[in-house]
Amino acid sequence: MLNKYTCLEKLHAVRTDEIVVSMMSNAMPWAALSDGPLDFASVDTSMGHGADFALGVAMAQPHRRVIALNGDGSMLMCLGTLVTMAQYRAENFTLIILENGTYEVTGSQPVPGAGTVDYAAIARGAGIENVCSLTNDSEFDAALQQHVSGVGPQVFVWKIEPTDEGIPRPTLPIKERTERLRTALQET
């Protein structure tokens, strides 16, 4: 199993100017590493729709890499995103599914199908070709650069240890986060 915080730190270390959309239990750990104009914590809207939002940004900004940090609970709520990813084939889009089998922000209740759902197989079944499931540090390290430079759409499933992140509380209200991202995208 992978450690979520270590993986996020390693991703942050190779990140340059990619847009990162973080969701639910991944939002605050990512914000501790990076909370700039190209970081968007998608925690105030319907759970499960951050990946859709990130895909839309990738389609609107084809010259920029967009990385979505999605939990398995959020992914389960919006599996149709995988089909949409396969249909529109945004080459600049990376979806990371952090799979720990729990809904961390609501008390770590088990996600339905925890331990039996194969998100990588579902992504492949939806028509996404570039899919990788990572379970240990050596696999993760070998695939790390591909997260920011591989041809998308691509999906990485990080098999991570459960944590207890709690309810995300971004430092800026959603209106300000949205305006900050919009302004940053207009400048480039």
pLDDT for residue 44: 66
R_g over Cα of the chain? 15
pLDDT for residue 91: 97
Domain ranges of the chain: 4-187
Strand boundaries in 78-139, DSSP class E: 93-99, 102-103, 109-110, 130-134
Q: Which fold has domain 4-187?
A: Rossmann fold (3.40.50)
Binned average pLDDT, 10 residues per bin, the chain of 188 residues: 96 96 87 93 74 95 96 89 96 95 66 84 97 97 96 96 72 82 84
pLDDT for residue 178: 85
DSSP 109: E
pTM, two decimal places:
0.89
Please report which residue ranges of 34-100 form alpha helices under DSSP H. Answer: 50-60, 72-77, 80-88
Residue 5 has a CB neighbour count (10 Å cut-off) of 15
pLDDT for residue 102: 64
